[in-house]
Amino acid sequence: MADNYDLIPLPNAEIRARLLELRQRHQDLDAAVEALSAMPTPDQLQIARLKKQKLVLRDQITKLENMLTPDLLA
């Protein structure tokens, strides 16, 4: 899932908006994983795929959060 957010610096407002979007998608995936897990015969492959997507989103969220945090060691 490559996106162009890695290539250009974003204003804080855009970063915050993107963070909200990614956090919502992460929550949606979490709900989907819970729903699939609650089924009588859960599709373990689908659950694994959703969890992998959640990890990718978590990495993107962390990267954007780090862009908002000032580097105090610099």
pLDDT digits (tens, 9 = 90+) for 4-34: 555 556 788 899 999 999 999 999 999 999 9
pTM reported for the whole predicted model: 0.78
| Spatial distance between the Cα atoms of 58 and 23, rounded to a whole number of angstroms | 8
Q: What is the DSSP letter of 4?
A: G
Q: How many percent of the chain have pLDDT more than 70?
A: 81
User: Residue 65: pLDDT band by 50, 70, 90 thresholds?
Assistant: very high
* Radius of gyration for the chain, computed over Cα atoms and rounded to the nearest angstrom: 15
